[in-house]
Amino acid sequence: MLRFILTRLGLVIPTFLGITFLTFLLIRLVPGDPIEVRVGERGIAPERLAELRREMGLDQPLWQQFLDYVGNVLSGDLGTSLVTRNSVLSEFATLFPATLELAFCAMLFSVLIGLPAGVLAAVKRGSWFDHGVMGLSLTGYSMPIFWWGLLLILFFSVQLGLTPVSGRLDLLYYIEPVTGFMLIDTLLVGETDAFWSALRHLILPTIVLGTIPLAVVARMTRSAMLEVLSEDYIRTARAKGLPQRRVIGLHALRNALIPVVTVIGLQVGTLLGGAILTETIFSWPGVGKWLIESINRRDYPALQGGVLLIATAVIAVNLIVDLLYGVFNPRIRHAR
Amino acid sequence: MTTETQSAATPATTPAPGRPPHPLAEFWYHFRQNTGAVIGLAVIVLIALTALTAPFVAPHDPNIQYRDAILVPPVWQDGGSWRFLLGTDDIGRDMLSRLIFGARLSLLVGLIVVTLSLAVGLALGLTAGFFRGIADTLIMRAMDILLALPSLLLAVVVAAILGPGLVNAMLAVSVVVIPHYARLTRAAVLAEASKDYVVASRVAGAGRLRLMLVVVLPNCLAPLIVQATLGFSTAILDAAALGFLGLGAQPPTPEWGTMLSSSLQFLQSAPWVVTWPGVAILVTVLAFNLLGDGLRDALDPKLKR
Amino acid sequence: MALLDIRNLSVAFTTRAGTFRAVDGIDLSVEEGEVLGIVGESGSGKSVTSLALMGLLPPGSRVTADRLNFAGTDLLSLSPAQRRRVVGKDIAMVFQEPMSSLNPCFTVGFQLGETLKVHEGLSGRALRRRCIELLEQVGIPDPESRLSAFPHQLSGGMSQRVMIAIAVACNPRLLIADEPTTALDVTIQRQILDLLVGLQRDRGMGLILITHDMGVVAETAQRAVVMYAGQVAETRPVEALFTRPRHPYTGALLDALPERALGKRRLPTIPGVVPGIMDRPEGCVFNPRCRFAAARCRSERPALFEVDEGLARCFYPLPDVPLPDGILPGGLHTRGMGQASGEGLGEGAAR
């Protein structure tokens, strides 16, 4: 098991370095000199430009600059935002919990609905329920989620007035961030009303962000279950006279979960990507909205740092999923 | 007992006993079974025809602003008129005509993105699969790195660097999907390369390029065709998302995602300006996904359950 | 009263091409403590019969029977829940592929204990003790540590022993073994067969041994049913069947045994294959492959006719043919005249 973990860790390092290189290149690929981009249209004296270049190490050869960048990244220095003059890392850190909370809820939503729906569709294969689930999940998979979000706002917020249109919390409340997760922080200070407000703000973004993962989880669960249900060991379980729910819910599901967990892990990337759209629609104060704003403000250091950090988060989650896979699949756990 | 059921199904799946059916006929036979796929294909053909004949089918010029008819609702609502079937937008342009011309853009985006990414992915995958060694490692590690980034994030970043615009959005989306084709091609090449027929033609003296392009490639096509079809849907969806974020096509281009974002403030007062572009995206993407699923089942009956 | 009494059992699968009868009106009975061998080629319907009995056929199959009695209860009249209380407890089954028949995600102990938990309500230390006892009985060394092993850590033979332990966990009155040794190494086959026969004798349970190996039947069974294309071709006590086969198919199967072909230049084979769904012949189902087929065999379906000590589905049963010197029923099989086989037959004859 230890060896398994070490191998996986070893594979992650080159990927991380590659991402670092990519984000390093990013800022060089932007048309124009980084400093000229900074000073914008005001212009700058040539002497001052040379001085700044030297200060920022831009006169060094590219490989030297890259090494410096990697050194900075590893020591936690991701540069400062051109707009707010804050450290990119600290800006990211204050916004990331909002994204994480949303992504977590969306994942929960998709698994809680997608898994049972997929299992039931497989068990009732060929029924109207099966066709319905498959049809809906293909539609969900094809959904332009930015439009889907607008439709939901139009119906639930505007027409029915059930849910708020945007933000994380009513302006009535102010909650000092402790964990950064609104649902937890409101409870920590004992503000139940604020908790309900936070929950109501979460509902629509959760549905919108969770739609595609929901479709993927339902489809994957169904096909994994269909495959498992035709296995010999399911026949054995039936031959033992086990109740149907034990055969399906334990013997079959346990095996079907192995590919499903992998797919769920892969959806984390989709979720963080989808957060860009969802947060923009719902004015959700997370890193997705922040990235788009950074692009619009030409705040390239923020964009660079943000991309690197999101990529790191995705890599970390995928690593955890890989390790979980070992826990879920005894054959891998005991290999060698 | 499975043997019985299988042998039972065989006579039905072979139309002409004794003579193996033409591969295309067999493909069509399997494809036809899948109602969803046939519907998908029909919708795509319809959209493609509309797109091709857009100047003739569209009732109005997509960019003409009828100042006397701003935010006219669709014909079946109060205040709607037959002049503008699906209503007009905030500066009096006909929604239907804009949607029809938008279909051109979306299909074009799909076509260019798929062609571009397929070509690059195929080349990379073939190189990696055939030459193995260091080329393989380098290419596949690079692909892994691209895959580690959420696809929409990567597209957003590339579009941000290149600057907003439809062409740049297409480039951005192409870059994002290259790894899928490269991985698929490499896997197919590795699976095929060890088969006897490849060894046989190598022994017969076939050169590397011939082996690559004439012998192996045609046998790897099935999964690539499926991926390419599904690639249309991701391309259309991602390009629309970039348009929505203001990083894709710029107004007044009648691109569906851009249309959506430029009329956001009318969401409450005139929902149709937001509804129709979304419906157009959903229907087109759904059609390509249905077709892709159907193709997968028909091209690989072994996988079909 | 017989432990198992089946009358006119048919199983039909509905496919796009039409309905296919995998089992076509067969009768079977097994007495308490009896070993019944069912022999036939692949596709003869022997596995489907046992799966129908266990209620394990996939949806889309239709099981009909005039009678499907087990220990006096009609299995077909039971609700699925009631039937599950019989299946796995009083009737148990061992399958052909031991490696894939165990769930890869659960330990041996879990899979064995689960049966006991569900049917007998055992738990805790008593459950563990019983599991160890069972693993010991099926000849698994170091049973205590094997409880926490996963299936992929076991060999094929070990897996089959575990499967047998699971099957006999609740002291079933009838055990069905469907080609239990086919997927195993030749050296292991012998051991598994001995284990099954030993358990059957110790516990006095009925055993249905399904196989395509005539030798295995000769060694272990008292009575044998030869199946062909979903029908019973011949059913008689083993000794009679092996020394004086009446159905040409049985005769051909016996002729195809290597031991009987001693001195011949080629091993006789049966030309052709078992008919499938579309090519059911007119008349006797075996007639296209039968050396002795006459005009009547091609037009009329034979019923099961009384022959000495049993039944055979043939208009023209084979006459007695003297066996070559030195070849006795117990020694028909490839495995030589083992001690166990001689005993098994002797016991069968004594009944």
HEC states along chain A? CHHHHHHHHHHHHHHHHHHHHHHHHHHHHCCCCHHHHHHHHHCCCHHHHHHHHHHCCCCCCHHHHHHHHHHHHHCCCCCECCCCCCEHHHHHHHHHHHHHHHHHHHHHHHHHHHHHHHHHHHHCCCCHHHHHHHHHHHHHHCCCHHHHHHHHHHHHHHHCCCCCCCCCCCCCCCCCCCCCCHHHHHHHCCCHHHHHHHHHHHHHHHHHHHHHHHHHHHHHHHHHHHHHHCCHHHHHHHHCCCCHHHHHHHHHHHHHHHHHHHHHHHHHHHHHHHHHHHHHHHCCCCHHHHHHHHHHCCCHHHHHHHHHHHHHHHHHHHHHHHHHHHHHCHHHHCCC
Q: Cβ–Cβ of A314/B148 closer than 8 Å? A: yes
Reduced 3-state DSSP string for C109-168: HHHHHHHHHHHHCCCHHHHHHHHHHHHHHCCCCCHHHHCCCCHHHCCHHHHHHHHHHHHH
Q: CB pairs below 8 Å between B and C: how many?
A: 38
* Closest residue, chain A, to B277 (C-alpha): A147
Q: Cβ–Cβ of B8/C51 closer than 8 Å? A: no
DSSP state letter for C180:
T
Point out the residue among A237, A246, A334 whose CB comes nearest to the CB of C153. A334
Q: What number is the ipTM of this complex?
A: 0.87
* Closest residue, chain A, to B151 (C-alpha): A273
B268 contacts in chain A (CB < 8 Å):
154, 158
Point out the residue among B152, B260, B285 whose CB comes nearest to the CB of A273. B152
Instruction: Convert the pLDDT of each residue in B110-160 to its tens digit.
Output: 999 999 999 999 999 988 988 888 988 889 888 988 888 888 888 998 888
pLDDT number for residue A336 = 40
Residue pair C348/C238 in contact by the 8 Å Cβ criterion: yes
Q: Residue A144 is encoded by which pair of tokens?
A: 């332009």
Could you tell me how many residues make up chain C? 351
Q: Which helix (H) or strand (E) holds C220?
A: helix C214-220
Q: Cβ–Cβ of C95/A331 closer than 8 Å? A: no
Q: Which of B147, B183, B244 to mutate to test the interface with A (most CBs of A within 10 A)?
A: B244
B275 contacts in chain A (CB < 8 Å):
151
Which subunits have 3 or more CB–CB pairs within 8 Å of chain B?
A, C
Output the CA torsion B107→B108→B113→B118 (10° steps).
80
DSSP state letter for C259:
G
Which residues fall within 8 angstroms of residue A118, CB to CB, at 6 or more apart?
Answer: A133, A217, A218, A219, A220, A221, A222, A224, A225, A260
| A330 φ, ψ (degrees, to nearest 5) | -60, -30
Cβ within 8 Å of B, C 36-75: 42-43, 47-48, 51, 57-58
Percentage of chain A lying above the pLDDT 70 cut: 93
| A23 φ, ψ (degrees, to nearest 5) | -70, -30
Q: Residue B44 is encoded by which pair of tokens?
A: 């795509």
Residue pair C221/C349 in contact by the 8 Å Cβ criterion: no
Which residues of chain B are at the C interface, by a Cβ-Cβ cutoff of 8 Å? 1, 3-5, 7-9, 11-12
The architecture (CATH level 2) of B53-303 comes to Orthogonal Bundle (1.10)
Helical pair A192-229 and A128-141, crossing angle rounded to 10 deg: 120
More confident residue, B282 or A49: B282
> Is B7 near chain A, with CB under 8 Å?
no
pLDDT number for residue C345 = 34
Instruction: Convert the pLDDT of each residue in A133-159 to its tens digit.
Output: 999 999 999 999 999 999 999 899 888
At residue B304, does pLDDT exceed 50? no
Which residues are bridge partners to C211 per DSSP?
C39
C41 contacts in chain B (CB < 8 Å):
none
Residue pair B177/B235 in contact by the 8 Å Cβ criterion: yes
Residue pair C166/C95 in contact by the 8 Å Cβ criterion: no
Q: Cβ–Cβ of A232/C101 closer than 8 Å? A: yes
Query: Ramachandran region of residue A293, left (φ > 0), alpha (ψ -120 to 50) or beta?
Result: alpha
Q: How confident is the model at residue A47 (pLDDT cuts 50, 70, 90)?
A: confident
> Is C345 near chain A, with CB under 8 Å?
no
Rounded Cα distance between C158 and C138, Å, is 9
At residue A85, does pLDDT exceed 60? yes
Rounded Cα distance between C82 and C90, Å, is 12
pLDDT number for residue C324 = 56
The number of C-alpha atoms within 13 Å of B151 and in the hemisphere containing its C-beta is 20
Residue B294 CB-density burial (10 A; 0-12 exposed, 13-18 middle, 19+ buried): buried
pLDDT number for residue A39 = 64
Point out the residue among A242, A251, A258 whose CB comes nearest to the CB of C118. A242
Encoded amino acid at C24, one letter: D
pLDDT number for residue A35 = 67
Task: Please state whether the predicted TM-score (pTM) of the whole model is above 0.90.
Answer: no
Domain range summary for chain B, segments of one domain joined by +: 53-303
Residue C198 CB-density burial (10 A; 0-12 exposed, 13-18 middle, 19+ buried): middle
Q: How confident is the model at residue B11 (pLDDT cuts 50, 70, 90)?
A: very low
Q: Which helix (H) or strand (E) holds C189?
A: helix C186-203
Q: How many of the other CB atoms lie within 10 Å of CB of B214?
A: 12
Residue pair A173/B290 in contact by the 8 Å Cβ criterion: no
Q: Which of C11, C13, C14, C15 to mutate to test the interface with B (most CBs of B within 10 A)?
A: C15
pLDDT number for residue B18 = 53
Q: Cβ–Cβ of A311/B156 closer than 8 Å? A: no
> Is C229 near chain B, with CB under 8 Å?
no
The closest alpha carbon to C181, from C105, C94, C251, C122, belongs to C94
Alpha helices in C35-122 (DSSP H): 46-54, 80-86, 98-101, 108-120
Rounded Cα distance between B273 and A150, Å, is 12
Largest CA distance in chain A: 86
Rounded Cα distance between B7 and B132, Å, is 41
Terminal-to-terminal C-alpha distance of chain A: 9
pLDDT number for residue B301 = 52
Point out the residue among B151, B244, B268 whose CB comes nearest to the CB of A146. B244
| A190 φ, ψ (degrees, to nearest 5) | 75, 20
pLDDT number for residue B170 = 92
Q: Residue A195 is encoded by which pair of tokens?
A: 């908790």
Radius of gyration of chain B (CA): 23
Reduced 3-state DSSP string for chain B: CHHHHHHHHHHHHCCCCCCCCCHHHHHHHHHHHCHHHHHHHHHHHHHHHHHHCHHHHCCCCCCCCCCCCCCCCCCCCCCCECCECCCECCCCCEHHHHHHHHHHHHHHHHHHHHHHHHHHHHHHHHHHHHHCHHHHHHHHHHHHHHHHCCHHHHHHHHHHHHCCCHHHHHHHHHHHHHHHHHHHHHHHHHHHHCCHHHHHHHHCCCCHHHHHHHHHHHHHHHHHHHHHHHHHHHHHHHHHHHHHCCCCCCCCCCCHHHHHHHCHHHCCCCCHHHHHHHHHHHHHHHHHHHHHHHHHHHHCCCCCC
C101 contacts in chain A (CB < 8 Å):
232-233, 235-236
More confident residue, A208 or C304: A208
Tell me, rounded to whole angstroms, the distance of Cα A117 from its chain centroid: 23
Q: Cβ–Cβ of A236/C101 closer than 8 Å? A: yes
C22 contacts in chain B (CB < 8 Å):
1, 4
The closest alpha carbon to B63, from B87, B91, B83, B82, belongs to B91
Which residues are bridge partners to C207 per DSSP?
C35, C175
DSSP state letter for C87:
B
pLDDT number for residue C263 = 73
Rounded Cα distance between C66 and C26, Å, is 10
Q: Residue B266 is encoded by which pair of tokens?
A: 């009318």
Rounded Cα distance between A227 and A119, Å, is 12
| B94 φ, ψ (degrees, to nearest 5) | -70, 120
DSSP state letter for C170:
T
| C311 φ, ψ (degrees, to nearest 5) | -130, 150
CA geometry: angle A57, A63, A68, nearest 5 deg: 50
Q: Which of C227, C278, C279, C280 to mutate to test the interface with B (most CBs of B within 10 A)?
A: C278
Q: How confident is the model at residue A184 (pLDDT cuts 50, 70, 90)?
A: confident
Which residues are bridge partners to B172 per DSSP?
none
Residue pair A212/A140 in contact by the 8 Å Cβ criterion: yes
pLDDT number for residue B15 = 44
> Is B264 near chain A, with CB under 8 Å?
yes
DSSP state letter for C316:
S
Residue pair A278/A149 in contact by the 8 Å Cβ criterion: yes
Percentage of chain B lying above the pLDDT 70 cut: 91
d(CA C20, nearest CA chain B) in Å: 7
Walk along chain C (351 residues) and give the pLDDT tens digit of each residue: 789 999 999 999 887 667 788 898 899 999 998 999 999 888 788 889 999 999 898 888 889 999 899 988 899 889 989 999 999 899 999 998 899 999 999 999 999 999 999 999 988 899 999 999 999 999 999 999 999 999 999 999 999 999 999 999 999 999 999 999 888 888 888 899 999 999 999 999 999 999 988 888 888 899 999 999 889 999 999 999 988 899 999 988 888 887 777 777 777 888 888 887 667 788 888 888 888 888 888 888 898 888 888 899 999 888 877 655 544 444 444 333 333 333 333 333 333
pLDDT number for residue C277 = 66
Point out the residue among B145, B153, B157 whose CB comes nearest to the CB of A272. B153
Residue whose token pair is 């575990």: C162
C16 contacts in chain B (CB < 8 Å):
9, 12
